[in-house]
């Protein structure tokens, strides 16, 4: 019996010694520099994550406030005006009902002694057609896919026409216009009008088509203004 108690005592002492040694090793490992660095980094990551969540919450709140403001009735009117200005300035592509006018040089034989230049299209012919369309209410115009704006120019350059300072175009010339198709077609086909004159006198080929939907791209030319500035006050 005494031997058993002694054995149990020795086992208990041995186990206690093992536990004490293990606890000391665990404490020393936890206090070592690498472990401390890992714990510090983990704490920083957690703090950063919490800060990120707070900032995201603020962003969501601000976005909700912005959406509420932009949906106000007063701003809807301003946004509509801004879109109208963008269309007029040509900064956005547009679509709508309209017409397509195709102009090509004359197919008539040149009479002896006549100037052959009379039977080909010139910049003034294109301008006359464009002006007629503008007078008939055309809202947006393009020539061979080039958007025409207030600063656009059309001028002859040999057998071609230069548009928007850099785009050189040759016949056939295709004018696309957005507006009331019936009004624009009637204006062009008016007896004694621009199209009638081009066809009857010089044999210029003209084709006019009504289209339920016309798409005109945004203006691609330069917008830099060197001399014009807003009036102060």
Question: pLDDT tens digits for 199-226?
Answer: 988 899 999 999 999 999 999 887 777 8
Confidence of residue 92 (pLDDT cuts 50, 70, 90): very high
For tokens 């149990």, the residue is 8
Q: Please give the residue that has the higher pLDDT: either 138 or 33.
A: 138
Identify the pLDDT of residue 126.
Answer: 96
The answer, yes or no, to whether residue 129 has pLDDT greater than 60, is yes
- List, by residue range, all CATH 3.30.70.1880 domains of the chain: 94-216
pLDDT at 147: 97
For domain 94-216, which architecture applies?
2-Layer Sandwich (3.30)
pLDDT of 46 over the 90 cut: no
What mean pLDDT is reported for the chain?
85
38-47, 83-92, 153-162, 173-182: lowest mean pLDDT where? 38-47
CB atoms within 10 A of CB 233: 3
pLDDT (mean) for 71-78: 69
User: What is the pLDDT, as a whole number, of residue 85?
Assistant: 87
């Amino acid at each position: 019996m005494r031997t058993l108690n002694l054995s149990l005592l020795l086992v208990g002492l041995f186990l206690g010694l093992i536990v004490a040694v293990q606890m000391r090793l665990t404490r020393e490992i936890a206090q070592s520099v690498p472990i401390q660095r890992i714990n510090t980094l983990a704490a920083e990551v957690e703090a950063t994550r919490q800060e990120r969540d707070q900032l995201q919450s603020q962003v969501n709140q601000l976005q909700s406030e912005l959406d509420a403001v932009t949906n106000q009735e007063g701003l809807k009117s301003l946004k509509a005006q801004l879109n109208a200005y963008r269309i007029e300035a040509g900064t956005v592509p547009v679509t709508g009902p309209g017409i397509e006018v195709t102009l090509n040089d004359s197919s008539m034989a040149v009479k002896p002694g006549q100037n052959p230049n009379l039977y080909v299209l010139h910049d003034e012919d294109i301008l006359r057609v464009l002006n007629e369309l503008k007078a008939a209410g055309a809202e947006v115009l393009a020539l061979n896919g080039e958007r025409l704006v207030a600063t656009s120019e059309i001028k002859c350059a040999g057998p071609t026409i230069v548009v928007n300072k850099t785009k050189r175009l040759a016949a056939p010339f295709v004018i696309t216009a957005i507006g009331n198709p019936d009004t624009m077609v009637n204006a062009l086909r008016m007896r004694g009008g621009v199209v009638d004159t081009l066809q009857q006198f010089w044999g210029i080929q003209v084709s006019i088509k009504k289209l339920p939907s016309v798409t005109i791209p945004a203006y691609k030319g330069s917008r830099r203004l060197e001399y014009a500035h807003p009036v102060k006050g």
